[in-house]
Amino acid sequence: MRSQTLTDTMGRPLRDLRISVTDRCNFRCGYCMPREVFGPHFQFLSRQEVLSFEEIHRLAGLFVAAGVNKIRLTGGEPLLRREVEKLVAMLAGLDGLRDLTMTTNASLLPGKAAALKEAGLARVTVSMDALDDEVFRAMSDVQIPVDTVLEGIAAAQSVGLSPVKVNMVVMRDVNEDQILKMSEHFRGTGHILRFIEFMDVGNSNSWRLEDVVPAREIRDRIHSRWPLEPLEPNYRGEVANRYRYQDGGGEIGIIASVSQPFCSSCNRARLTADGEFYTCLFARQGHDLKSLLRGEASDTEIAAQLEVIWGARTDRYSELRSLATIDLPRVEMSRIGG
């Protein structure tokens, strides 16, 4: 039986849960896992520290009972988690869950797309920051070519994991020249390209405000080439500002966490691979749920803790961002997911 939907101190409901299934990734994108920090000697989580599929399933069921209707599997790179399609099948069976999706860099998607779809995954979001190989490799810091990612997107589309959303993090003087190239490539494909302002998640990515290409500039660049018109949000709390090409070329989105904060409608919670519950992407501290799971706490006791944590939530970091806050320690994106 579903309980009453949880709300926080600002009346924001708990609707969306991001579950990181691993803190490991085969890319080293500078805005997430820069190689100078996450190098060969970096200590990733051990197998014993990571939640089992059964533990994830149990917690996910309690979150769904508390009002969550969308779950997104993230990482790190979720396809590095062995047999992750088994977890997908377990989660797809949760009563009350309306949407089960995954964010991936797509490098392993050609060999996994069919199994994920069969297991019950609805859609994928693919992280892809450039169309040109040289720029793509500079952003991802690996020798994987763009064609591998494009093959992953094609594989997802072929089995019905669609519409595919393609996320491009835009950084000043790094890949901003790819905005129109990416737009042109994905126009008319049925995929939804989304541009994301470079965010100050964690403390390893050397974030500076001057490296942010604001949403208005991104929109204006595209609009000057292919006129756009705004679209209404699909649902309350949607993070992307939606636009469509006036010539019928499809839809794009722009996620403007820095220049146009959307904290007031944020309904997302995050669960790390080792069972930490975070109520904000920019949080400094999480809440240990793994100890409750492994300490034989009952479902009722864990559910009560979720209610306490979410009920006390006051997060609105993007609205408060200032010189006094950007240097505060925060959880890394590779642990918390996007």
Does 9 fall in a domain?
A: no
Query: What token pair was written down for 67?
Result: 């009002």
* pTM across the whole model: 0.94
Does 3 fall in a domain?
A: no
The C-alpha torsion from 2 through 21 and 325 to 175, rounded to 10°, is -120
Res 326: pLDDT: 67
Would you write out the chain's pLDDT as a tens digit for each of its 338 residues?
445 789 999 999 999 999 999 999 999 998 899 999 999 999 999 999 999 999 999 999 999 999 999 999 999 999 999 999 999 999 999 999 999 999 999 999 999 999 999 999 999 999 999 999 999 999 999 999 999 999 999 999 999 999 999 999 999 999 999 999 999 999 999 999 999 999 888 777 778 889 999 999 999 999 999 999 999 988 877 889 999 999 999 999 999 989 888 899 999 999 999 999 999 988 888 999 999 999 989 999 999 999 999 999 999 888 887 665 766 777 787 888 76
Indicate if the alpha-carbon torsion angle 109, 113, 116, 122 is positive or negative: positive
Does 321 fall in a domain?
A: yes
Does 234 fall in a domain?
A: yes
Does 5 fall in a domain?
A: no
- We report the CATH number of the domain holding residue 288 as 3.20.20.70
Does 220 fall in a domain?
A: yes
> Measuring CA to CA, which residue among 110, 243, 109, 259 is closest to residue 183?
243
H or E stretch covering 155: helix 146-159
H or E stretch covering 136: helix 133-140
Domain count, the chain: 1
Res 1: pLDDT: 42
Does 320 fall in a domain?
A: yes
Does 2 fall in a domain?
A: no
Residue 166 CB-density burial (10 A; 0-12 exposed, 13-18 middle, 19+ buried): buried
> Measuring CA to CA, which residue among 136, 158, 157 is closest to residue 145?
136
CB of 169 closer than 8 Å to CB of 159: no
Q: Which structural domain range is residue 21 located in?
A: 16-336
Res 238: pLDDT: 82
Query: What token pair was written down for 222?
Result: 């595209």
For 32, the 3-state DSSP assignment is coil
Beta strands 268-271 and 287-288, pairing class: unpaired
Q: b vs e for 279-307, b when ≥16 Cβ sit within 10 Å of the residue's Cβ?
A: bbbbbeebbebbebbeeeeeeeebbebbb
